[in-house]
Structure 1
Amino acid sequence: MAAAGQRRTGRARSGGGTTRRRSARPSEKGLIPLLAALAGEVDRAVKQPPTRGAARTKFQVVALIVREERARVKADDSLSQAKRDEESRRLDGVATMLAKIAARDTSLLTLLADDARVTDSARAYKRTVLEAAGREVEEEPEPEPAVATTAPEADKRVVPQSAISYQLANPFLAPDFSAAQERAAAQPRRLAGWELLDPLFRSFEQDAPGARACMELPEPGAPSAGTMRLPAGRTLMPHQAQLVAAAARGHRTFLLADEPGLGKTAQALLAAQAADAYPLLVVVPNVVKTNWAHEVAMWTPQRRASVVHGDGDEVDAFADVVIVNYDILDRHVGWFGDLGFKGMVLDEAHFIKNQRSQRSQHVLALSERIRHRTARPLLMALTGTPLINDIEDFRALWQYLGWIDDEKPLGSLMSALESTGLIPTDRGWYPAARAAVVDQGIVRRRKVDVAADIPARRVADLPVELDGPLGRSIRAAEAALAERMVASYRRATAARPADAEGIDLALARQIAAAELKDASSKKTGDNVFTMVRRIGQAKAGLAADYAVQLARNVGKVVFFAKHVDVMDEAERIFAERGIRFTSIRGDQTAKARKEAVSAFTEDPDVQVVVCSLMAAGVGLNLQVASNMVLAELSWTDAEQTQAIDRIHRIGQSEPVTAWRIIAAQTIDAKIAELIDSKSGLAARALDGAAVDDAASSADVQLEALVELLVDALRAEGEA
């Protein structure tokens, strides 16, 4: 009975209901006309985005059958050549329909890959189609389970010396038997024998008016010891404090799907503090790796963070928070699994949606190790877009969080499903199952939902590290510039009395002004202007990558840059990632400019507009977006503000966030600080407050050089 129920539910989902199945009576029409009819249904569904899971399943099944039929026709010796040609031509017609559909929704292309995952519901629907066409259907063998990648990559694995020292200092990790007891306690009773994962996924495809998208969160009360110790000057917005309060009260798994700009990083770090989930492993995209270390210092300054680069030669395995990017996780998964982490955070967690990928296998293996070593560890998946292509994207995220495995729900989720008293064929199953999953820890807030909590406009800095030859050359050029100014300073002070102490700031300003004059007249090679331009070139790819993440998370994004080569590189990356874009540049005609603006504001498929800071900084209304990426810094706060005002305008219904990409440990960071200081001065002046004349008229370029010189002199004195 259970098996029959499972088969019936699988057919109902994939076929889209009895009305859709009526359109195809294949016993009368044959298989190929049926496939053409189903392709037509998919085509109509794709014209009304988003493409839902049922249409995606139908598309994949039609493609699979077409592929198999082609092979059958080619190998069938009983067919005449004329019949074989006719069948091939008709199949090609269906394949052409599929190609046109995929061109309209390019996310469907992944379903055509040879290694594309075929879900249980897709296999069930394929069987339904073939049976309806009068074909005899053999039982398909169960797909082989994905095997965690281990041995083939052993030669890539590294164990940093710091990790060896940590293991020697902590030779034994005490087992926590309560973890095993908790796993053993969740055995199905009423639901034993039922296929539950597919109905669970389908519960999120059902129309559910009024259904909760977010777990019930407690109202944050007075901070208690060890939970919300905030550093001086830091405050949490109410929606952030709610999640931290949930962690403080014992909740340990979160799919944190807040929109970008709502402070997911701070919530994760403070939840780890509330749960005492140290040591904590944080896995992130490369572009935000440095920013996470910065946020650790800002929100939990009593905790040490260590960032893993390359083979981890400089990592501190004794740190409270270890931060690594997805790209190098394969090298470190071995010693990570042995370290004894009590918590794990995935940023941009949709990176693991493909369960077959090496990246996903490593992440899932690590989370499994952590759950077996620690009872109720803190596991958090941070993503503004938990679903990208299909409801199946949930699978890897839920498995990482320990809610399910390859076959069934686990732990508290299974207990919650049992407590509903329902089975998948009952009328109330889907809303109850959906609520049970949400209560495991799905937290979703949009900007518009918490608009009262956040500023109407804010600038969020995203520090990045410049790696590779270009980054090294920029740091070398900056060091050479500082040495040149230090040499000038030393020559000027050589005749001074030996007992003169301190740095002469007036002299430092004179030397910086002379350097700036030489740079403006192009008398020197490496100067502040050429360095800033090279920094912009080095940041271009990282800034574009972050814009791609934003576009996939929240929709339209405005991308600002100063230089043409930075815009070119960003556009190359957008094209490579499948992100549609348009451009606004200084060399455009008025007509081309108007068409570019219309494409961005009116075409839902155009996700990014790449703008010149000079050409598009004024006179444009781009408020269809609420997120902006500033890939390069301007020299004035006014120029930056004008750019932000392209989206922060009357009529904007959402809070605006400008993500400013800053090259850490370079002059770029000094320029950002100076721009912010000028912003404060301008505000005080407009408010009628007294402003120091010298400070208000100071030039950002000059002050940046002064700070570079002073830092070099101090470093020389300390040495």
Structure 2
Amino acid sequence: MARRAQPRSGARRSGGRNQGRSGERDLIAVLARAVREVEGAAQRGRVTPSVRTKFQVIALLVREEHARVKNSETITPAQRTEQLKRLDGIATILAKTAVRDSGLLGLLAEDAVVSPAVRTLKREFLEDAGLEQEVEEEPVVEAPAAAAPENRVVPQSVISRQLANPFLAPDFSAARPVAAKPRRLLGWELLTPLLNSFERAGGGAPACMDLPFPTSRFTPAGLELMPHQGQVVAAAEQGHRTFLLADEPGLGKTAQSLLAAEAAQAFPLLVVVPNVVKTNWAREAGRWVPQRPATVIQGNGETIDAFADIVVVNYEVLDRHVGWIGDFGFRGMVVDEAHFIKNKTSQRSQHVLELSERIRSRTPRPLLMALTGTPLINDIEDFRAIWQFLGWIDDEKPLGELMQCLEDTGFTPADPGFYPAARQCVIDLGIVRRRKVDVAADIPARRIADLPVELDDRAGRSIRAAEQELARRLVKRYESALAARESATDVEEIDHDLVRKVAGWELKDTTTKASGENVFSMMRRIGQAKAGLAADYAAQLARSAGKVVFFAKHVDVMDTAEETFEKLGVRYSSIRGDQTPSTRQKHIDAFVKDPDVAVAVCSLTAAGVGLNLQVASNIVLAELSWTDAEQTQAIDRSHRIGQTEPVTAWRIIAAQTLDARIAELIDSKAGLAARALDGSDEEMQSSADVQLEALVSLLTSALSE
């Protein structure tokens, strides 16, 4: 049982009838306000984890206060009756609220688990009431020592560095800044409104923090930064330390981050990247900060130089090295293609967030940069992990500077003015978003052109038959579900809610068992059927217009394309995900530097990021991606700084097949980043998965026939 809360020195004291205990009236008033907020959230159906926490804190304090008032010998019977009546009123609201959401009932039990978040909020409630709570003596639970993961390693070079010079040991003595304590916003659930503030952005809403006049004094001789790049470097020089660098692909984010680290003196610097670009990062470091040695972690790290200023590691091996990296003393961390961490349950996301937390807890004001041209792939929720990496939020609430800014706005989420003000608070923390059309007008325009192709009779018939089989299975499932309803009657119109449920069931089954045709196997078959036609068109382009980049998703499609090029006598480079970094770079260099290598055959997933292929102005997309963002990333391998010709991406579409439906769905989803990030008037489309929407479309069409 916690010790009784004692009045804080100088705290407000209750007068009149409540003089028996300092601050009593304030505590009950705090509980009354809070319980109304919880009740309102439950009525709106928005019982978030923070609302559950607040509900449990109110229940604990009401129970403790009820017992204290009932047994107090320092108050009059009249005072006792009045206070018990007010506490019973709060308890009644709690009970009615729990009826609305059965998940809250368990929190009313006396043996309900009290989490650290509940203890923290309980202390804040007491402080807000003018009371201070003595430190609770929490039971000490002996936790078993966690065994180090079997694949954890510490490279010999790192051990040598630790032993070589004691003065190289990192200094973790700097205290972390004190987090801002919410006052006016105490008890409000803020993360969802913060995210909603980006969805609500209207035309002309700011998309980028204010940036200073550009600087070029950190640029090596012989190189030149564009003005928009120099602005980020200048901001770092002036003391800004967190950036979501979300410039459109092709605007030179790598150079900006390396020179920002130089301006901030954020070395040693950790750079976490996809495997396909880590060699390129080392090259770029040698180019933009040649005075800073860079090393790349390969496998278990046997070849790394632990004395280097820049350490580059790829997501795929981060789990092996997260232990020693966390103790290394990094003063800065860059996460490239930061949308890779959007799934917070994934191992790579957890490792990135763990390292960020350790760096922030040990280094005063480290440089943290998240680089991504496509921070929003499917949903506004994709922001969460990136913001957490930057230290702007945690799992439940805004932190530090962001919380203080929200307090200073004077608004709560109940006020319409909260949303533009909150969005501006987040942007000012370090969102940097520039479009090519605004800052790089000298980069020629780009366009996407759809090229419908007719599949040959045999392949076309086979694919159409497979589509019909899939549609029949969906219709049968729909009719079975409709007939199973207790109130089933003859229904003339399509039940669109049921259509979506059936599509969802189908998609779930597709991911758990492989039987019969499904949306994924259909798209792969279509890709295989298009491969030769797409390769033939790429060869024609190469002969008439110069170098061509050919993108495909599946290995067998790439194989077919390369066989076609060989038959046609067209030289090509092959850039795939299973290549070693040196082999991959050899193929890239051949395409870029050898005038006789006409085509780069690229994996859409492996080569869609981190490549500079601006020697080509024509791109052939032999297979469609599932998102507009992935498609854009691929196109921007050529449409970037250094491009001198208009860029055209040719999408090869199999006419009269599911391929055409997918293309339309991808295009319909392209408005997300424009609305949320760029302040565009473009209408924001649904963030539902394209796979689901494709099945919905297929079933709806079949039922309409």
What is the TM-score when the length of structure 1 is the normalising length? Answer: 0.48
Indicate the structure whose relative CO is greater, using CA pairs within 8 Å and at least 6 residues apart. 2
What is the TM-score when the length of structure 2 is the normalising length? Answer: 0.49
